[in-house]
Amino acid sequence: MITRLLSGDLPRSRILSVLLLSIVLGLAFAPFLFPGAKALNVAAKVIIFIALVASYDLLLGYTGIVSFAHTMFFGIGAYGVAIASVQMGPAWSSLFIGVGAAVALSAALSLVIGMFSLRVRAIFYSMITLAVAFAFQTLASQLSDLTGGEDGLNFSVPDLLSPSFQLFEEPVLGVTIDGKLITYYLVFFIAALLFLCMLRIVNSSFGRVLQAIRENTFRAEAIGYNTVLFRTAANILSAIFATLAGALLALWLHYNGAETSLSFEIMINILLMVVIGGMGTLYGAICGATIFILAQSYLEDLMAHGASATQNIPLLSTLLSPDRWLLWLGVLFVLSVYYLPTGIVGKLRSIRR
């Protein structure tokens, strides 16, 4: 049953299996294991970015396409939900229409980008996607009547997902079952479904062709495959999954703005998560997103405690200052790339072999 659910793509490492199971169970029971608003927000962000990073790995790790426009599709999904909810009110129909319109727009844009850009060399394609992403971010910031400009859009959601809604009067295991918790589990199950769909895609005959194109484009063409067609299809699928991840982000935050979903910093973070977890595995998205976001959320607090404990050692306390958390995050990334060139998943699988 588990083998069929995972499309025959098992972790192939006992340590990796335990790690993945721990992360999934931790996220599934996070509201009960880690009470508090910050912990719940971090867990929801991990879930959303697992889906987003996996969608980018479908493009980079399995097809070998380096695109910098991935956050554009992420932002389209978030703006689709936000704009539809503002214009049409807090109804389920607004959410479905917003998501549907965002998916259609992302599919059309990715098709155009694929048709006109995937025929050029890799570096030129990357530059084209970078220019398109910056242009879209500028456009979103300037269309203030539609997107809210720099301030973004706050919107309401259906009553069932509203924080004021309570399913039960009494707490369950010490946790109030309110609209926020329902939204969390809605995000969790949709993200899990998206991940399993991507796992099925990469383990299908279509996914095998994508991997063949990644390894040797000329050989794949010689066999008879239309590489432009397959690369364009991969571009569209990746964009659609990223759009759905963006819709989950807006649904969780009840807000979206240019900096929230379209910033270039998010694109860099996605790249880091893919590399840390392991490209071309999908499971790397789970490991990479979890480790990176936990470090991003809690490293500063840990360093504050470390600086307080070593305040009598001037040089060490200065190095552990919370203001330098980005420096240590960069050091951790460099070390992970040096010692784990195939990512966490690749390293654990090689140990098993």
| Distance from C-alpha of 326 to C-alpha of 152, rounded to nearest angstrom | 26
- Per the structure, the complete domain to which residue 148 belongs is given by 2-352
The greatest distance separating any two alpha carbons of the chain, rounded to the nearest whole angstrom, comes to 69
How many domains does the structure of the chain reveal?
1
Strand partners, 166: 178
Alpha helices per DSSP H over 281-324: 283-309, 314-319
Strand partners, 154: 255
Per-residue pLDDT 10s for the chain (353 aa) are 778 888 888 888 889 999 999 999 999 999 999 888 889 999 999 999 999 999 999 999 998 888 898 999 999 999 999 999 999 989 999 999 999 999 999 999 999 887 776 666 667 788 888 888 989 998 998 888 888 888 889 999 999 998 888 887 788 877 888 899 999 999 999 999 999 999 999 999 999 999 998 888 888 888 888 888 888 899 999 999 999 999 999 999 999 998 899 998 899 899 989 989 999 889 999 999 999 999 888 887 787 777 777 777 777 777 777 777 777 777 877 887 788 888 899 888 887 55
Dihedral, CA of residue 9, residue 12, residue 14 and residue 19, to nearest 10: -50
| Distance from C-alpha of 119 to C-alpha of 107, rounded to nearest angstrom | 18
Q: Which residue shows structure tokens 């721990």? A: 22
- If one counts every other C-beta atom within 10 angstroms of the C-beta of residue 113, the result is 21
pTM score, two decimals? 0.93
Q: What are phi and psi of 278, to 5 degrees?
A: 125, 120
Strand partners, 172: 175
The CATH code of the domain that includes 217 is 1.10.3470
Q: What are phi and psi of 175, to 5 degrees?
A: -120, 130
